[in-house]
Structure 1
Amino acid sequence: MKQDNNGTWVSWNENLKYNYTTKYSVTTEEELQEVIANNDKIRFFGSKQSSADIAAGTDVIIDMTTYNKIVSYNYSKKTITVQSGVILKDVLEAIESVGWCIPCLPDINTITIGGALATGTHGTSGKLLSEYMVACKLILADGTIKTITQEDELMNAVKVSLGMLGVMSTITFQCEPIYTLHVKERPENDNEWLPKIKSRLKEHDFLRILWLPHTSKGYVITGDKIDKNKEVTENKGPKFLKHRRKASKMLYKYSHKYPWTTAIANKILATIFFSSKKEHKGSLYQATVTKSRGSTLELAEWTISLDKFPKVFEEIKTEINKWSNKSFIHIPMDVRFVYKDKSWLSYAYEQDTVTMGCVSRNAATADTYEAFKSVEKIFLKHGGRPHWGKRFAAKDAQLTKVYPKWEDFKNLRNELDPTNKFLNPYLASLVNAKAVVYENA
């Protein structure tokens, strides 16, 4: 076990910074137990890519990225067991090598498994990643291990918990046979793609829309399962498409000072980078996951029931297109779909759900990005739920209204962590509890 003293923890986009007195890097379950048992307050982190302030803010922190082994395979059951600090990329490549997949893939592959589960990471046209967890070991506040299986009543509480119930040690996932997707991409006007959502969800195995604010257009991505040997005429589009992020950075350079310029920039970006038709095939992982994110950015994401989405969408569109406000939104707003489940803090708890991302390409000026506030206000008004790993301002009073099991979760948290060991100030404010406050660096 490695120990570093008196340093500064900095998030991926550099928006969050905290001094710490001790940072541990662990490699074994026994080390993880020891560190947790012997410290009064502690948080833990992985790739630090969360926009929410959940990973640090205590004097003692644990770097989970060194706790990163593939533990075992069960070939008859098609399950894989991993340590919680392993990167998603490594897990996906491991299961693909034996002909399996987990049919839920987030947008990026550089996050740790533990962090992905804790924050309710999801893919599109499927379920949360946590829905494929069939067993886990949870290290409690006193350092003891609790093994949780599908039959355990705690499973639906533990699946998504922001690391407030304990620290995930090892996790077992149920996998499925690998399959190939035929992916097609094309631009459509809002009045084309919006009414077709439900029919397309039935027609296709994969559906995602990149909505282009201030343009009245979307970029529709569909995927259909095909035989892996079926030939597809590949069309990756013009070579200049790979420069979209660089162009976005240039066009949005002063949008924090002059928000209205975003509308002009979006029209330029839509015309250049979202007007081509594309087509390809690949495994779910190959076909749908962004392999790198490039420059830093800041994200918010909200979810709403499938039935309410058209109304919410039109309200957002009307609001952000008013020239009298500052809520101009960078391209794109990512629209994805998650089917209902039973996990207490899942965005899809008991409802088929649409998720809608909101991005600021200027991470450093995200605090003054008015769009985050406008989008949150509209989603909360209609009962929307925030993504736990992304930016939002809602606290306990609002969350209890939109998460039916919120109070049950808080009661369980009090039972498992009566001294609030796993709370930092941000998490304490979410659950209306007390935590030691530490100064930002």
Structure 2
Amino acid sequence: MKQKNNSTWVSWNENLKYNYKTKYTITTEEELQEVIAKNDKIRFFGSKQSSADIAAGTDALIDMTAYNKIVSYDYNKKTITVQSGLILGELLEAIEAVGWCIPCLPDINTITIGGALATGTHGTSGKLLAEYMIGCNLVLADGTIQTVTAEDDLIDAVRVSLGMLGVMSTTTFQCEPAYTLHIKEGPESDDVWLPKIKSRLKKHDFLRILWLPHTDKGYVITGDKINSDTEVVENLGPKYLKHRRTASKILYKYTHIFPWLTAIANKLLYKGFFSSKKEHKGTLYQATVTKSRGSTLELAEWTIALDKFPQVFAELKEELNNWSNKSFVHIPMDVRFVYQDKSWLSYAYGHDTVTMGCVSRNAATADTYEAFKSVEKIFIKHGGRPHWGKRFTAKDAELTQIYPKWKYFKELRRELDPTNKFLNPYLSQLVNEKETANVKKVIA
């Protein structure tokens, strides 16, 4: 176990900074237990890519990234057990190598397994990654281990918990046989793709829509399972498409000063990068868009029941097209779909869900990005739920209204962590608990 003292923790986009007294880098479950047991307050982190302020803010921190081994495979049951500091991309490569997949494709593969589970990471046209977790070892506040299996009622609380119930040590995932997708992509007008959502979800195995504000267009991506030897005439579009991020960086450079420039930039980016059709095939991971972040961003994402989405979308579009405000959104706004589950803090608890992302390409100026506020206001009005790992301002009062199990989760949290060991200032506000830690946020 390595130890570093008196330094500064900095998030991936440098928007969050905290001084700490001690940082532990652990490699074994025993070290994880020891560190948790001997500290009064502690948080833990992986690749630091959350926009929400959940990973630091205490005197003691645990760096989980060296706790990253594959523990075991069960080839008969198609399960894999891993340490929670393993990077998601490495997990996907490991299971694909033995002919398996987890049919959940998050947008980013450079996050740790523990972080992905804790914040409810999801893909599209499936369920949260956490729903494929069938067991875990949870290190509790006193350093003891509680083994949770799919048969335990506790698993519905543990699957998505923001690390407030304990620290996930090892996790076991249920995998499925790998498959090949035939992917088709192309632009459609809003009045075409919006009414087709439900029929497409029934027809296709994969559906994702990149909405492009100020263009009245969406970029629709569908995927259908095919035999791996089926021939597909590949069309990857013009070669310059790979330069979209560079073009976005240039076009959005001054939009924090002149927000209206965003509308012009969006139209140019649509014509240059979202107006052509593409077609190709590959495994779930090859054929779709799991990737690392090409640049630092600031992100928010909200979810709403599938049946409510058309109304929410209409209000959102009207708001974002209103030139009298400053709610101009950098494209694309990512629209994905998650099927209902029973995890207490899941976005899809109790209903099929549409998720909608909101991105600022200028991470350093995100505090003045009016679209975050406008999008949150509309989704909250209709009972929408925030992505736990991204930016939002809702606190305990709002969360009580939109998460049916929020009250029960808080009661369980107090039972498992009676001294609030796993709370930092941000999480204390979320659950409406008094914060006793004296760690101060660094003013950037």
Report if TM-score (shorter chain) is over 0.5. Answer: yes
Match of 2:21 in 1: 21
State the Cα deviation string for residues 189-212 of structure 1 (Å, max 9, x = none). 000000000000000000000000
Summarize the alignment of residues 295-310 of structure 1 with structure 2, pairs less than 5 Å apart.
Answer: 295-310=295-310
Summarize the alignment of residues 10-89 of structure 1 with structure 2, pairs less than 5 Å apart.
Answer: 10-89=10-89
Match of 1:338 in 2: 338
Summarize the alignment of residues 94-109 of structure 1 with structure 2, pairs less than 5 Å apart.
Answer: 94-109=94-109
**Separation in structure 2 between the aligned mates of residue 262 and residue 291 of structure 1, nearest angstrom:** 25
**Residue 437 of structure 1, CA deviation:** 3.9
Match of 2:159 in 1: 159
- Structure 1's unaligned 5+ residue stretches are none
Match of 2:264 in 1: 264
Match of 1:367 in 2: 367
Match of 2:170 in 1: 170
Whether the 8 Å CA contact 1:138–1:167 is kept in 2: the answer is: yes
Q: Which amino acid aligns with 2:339?
A: Y
**Residue 290 of structure 1, CA deviation:** 2.9
**Separation in structure 2 between the aligned mates of residue 8 and residue 355 of structure 1, nearest angstrom:** 34
**Separation in structure 1 between the aligned mates of residue 319 and residue 438 of structure 2, nearest angstrom:** 37
Whether the 8 Å CA contact 1:109–1:289 is kept in 2: the answer is: no
Match of 1:138 in 2: 138
SS in 2 for 1:308: helix
Q: Which amino acid aligns with 2:285?
A: Y
**Residue 92 of structure 1, CA deviation:** 0.5
Whether the 8 Å CA contact 2:5–2:22 is kept in 1: the answer is: yes
Q: Which amino acid aligns with 2:34?
A: E
Match of 1:318 in 2: 318
Match of 2:9 in 1: 9
Whether the 8 Å CA contact 1:36–1:42 is kept in 2: the answer is: yes
2:294 equivalent to 1:287? no
**Residue 289 of structure 1, CA deviation:** 3.2
Match of 1:419 in 2: 419
**Residue 288 of structure 1, CA deviation:** 1.6
TM-score, normalization: structure 2? 0.99
Whether the 8 Å CA contact 1:33–1:144 is kept in 2: the answer is: yes
**Separation in structure 2 between the aligned mates of residue 147 and residue 333 of structure 1, nearest angstrom:** 39
Whether the 8 Å CA contact 1:215–1:266 is kept in 2: the answer is: yes
**Residue 105 of structure 1, CA deviation:** 1.3
Q: Which amino acid aligns with 2:96?
A: E
Match of 1:439 in 2: 440
Whether the 8 Å CA contact 1:424–1:437 is kept in 2: the answer is: no
Match of 2:327 in 1: 327
Q: Which amino acid aligns with 2:52?
A: A
Q: Which amino acid aligns with 1:9?
A: W
SS in 1 for 2:109: coil
SS in 2 for 1:24: strand
Whether the 8 Å CA contact 1:117–1:129 is kept in 2: the answer is: yes
**Residue 377 of structure 1, CA deviation:** 0.2
**Separation in structure 2 between the aligned mates of residue 260 and residue 412 of structure 1, nearest angstrom:** 47
Match of 2:191 in 1: 191
**Separation in structure 2 between the aligned mates of residue 377 and residue 305 of structure 1, nearest angstrom:** 16
**Separation in structure 2 between the aligned mates of residue 159 and residue 440 of structure 1, nearest angstrom:** 29
SS in 1 for 2:354: strand
RMSD across aligned positions (CA) = 0.5
Summarize the alignment of residues 389-400 of structure 1 with structure 2, pairs less than 5 Å apart.
Answer: 389-400=389-400
Q: Which amino acid aligns with 2:240?
A: F
**Separation in structure 2 between the aligned mates of residue 374 and residue 240 of structure 1, nearest angstrom:** 33
**Separation in structure 2 between the aligned mates of residue 294 and residue 63 of structure 1, nearest angstrom:** 23
State the Cα deviation string for residues 301-345 of structure 1 (Å, max 9, x = none). 000000000000000000111110000000000000000000000
**Residue 21 of structure 1, CA deviation:** 0.6
Whether the 8 Å CA contact 1:4–1:24 is kept in 2: the answer is: yes
SS in 1 for 2:358: strand
Whether the 8 Å CA contact 2:20–2:439 is kept in 1: the answer is: no
**Separation in structure 2 between the aligned mates of residue 123 and residue 294 of structure 1, nearest angstrom:** 19
Q: Which amino acid aligns with 2:439?
A: Y
2:120 equivalent to 1:125? no
SS in 1 for 2:440: coil
**Separation in structure 2 between the aligned mates of residue 176 and residue 111 of structure 1, nearest angstrom:** 22
Q: Which amino acid aligns with 2:270?
A: A
SS in 1 for 2:65: helix
Q: Which amino acid aligns with 1:440?
A: K
Whether the 8 Å CA contact 1:425–1:437 is kept in 2: the answer is: no
**Separation in structure 2 between the aligned mates of residue 298 and residue 391 of structure 1, nearest angstrom:** 8
SS in 2 for 1:82: strand
Identity %: 81
- Structure 2's unaligned 5+ residue stretches are none
Whether the 8 Å CA contact 1:135–1:147 is kept in 2: the answer is: yes
State the Cα deviation string for residues 6-27 of structure 1 (Å, max 9, x = none). 1110000000000011000000
**Residue 292 of structure 1, CA deviation:** 2.3
SS in 2 for 1:138: strand
Match of 1:212 in 2: 212
**Separation in structure 1 between the aligned mates of residue 251 and residue 126 of structure 2, nearest angstrom:** 34
**Residue 439 of structure 1, CA deviation:** 1.1
Summarize the alignment of residues 226-265 of structure 1 with structure 2, pairs less than 5 Å apart.
Answer: 226-265=226-265
Whether the 8 Å CA contact 1:95–1:101 is kept in 2: the answer is: yes
**Residue 287 of structure 1, CA deviation:** 1.3
State the Cα deviation string for residues 186-240 of structure 1 (Å, max 9, x = none). 0000000000000000000000000001110000000000000101111111010
SS in 2 for 1:218: strand
Whether the 8 Å CA contact 1:104–1:122 is kept in 2: the answer is: yes
**Separation in structure 1 between the aligned mates of residue 331 and residue 159 of structure 2, nearest angstrom:** 31
**Residue 434 of structure 1, CA deviation:** 1.7
**Separation in structure 2 between the aligned mates of residue 176 and residue 289 of structure 1, nearest angstrom:** 20
TM-score, normalization: structure 1? 1.00
**Separation in structure 2 between the aligned mates of residue 367 and residue 177 of structure 1, nearest angstrom:** 44
SS in 1 for 2:279: strand
Whether the 8 Å CA contact 2:105–2:290 is kept in 1: the answer is: no
**Residue 291 of structure 1, CA deviation:** 2.4
**Separation in structure 2 between the aligned mates of residue 360 and residue 400 of structure 1, nearest angstrom:** 28
**Separation in structure 2 between the aligned mates of residue 80 and residue 102 of structure 1, nearest angstrom:** 10
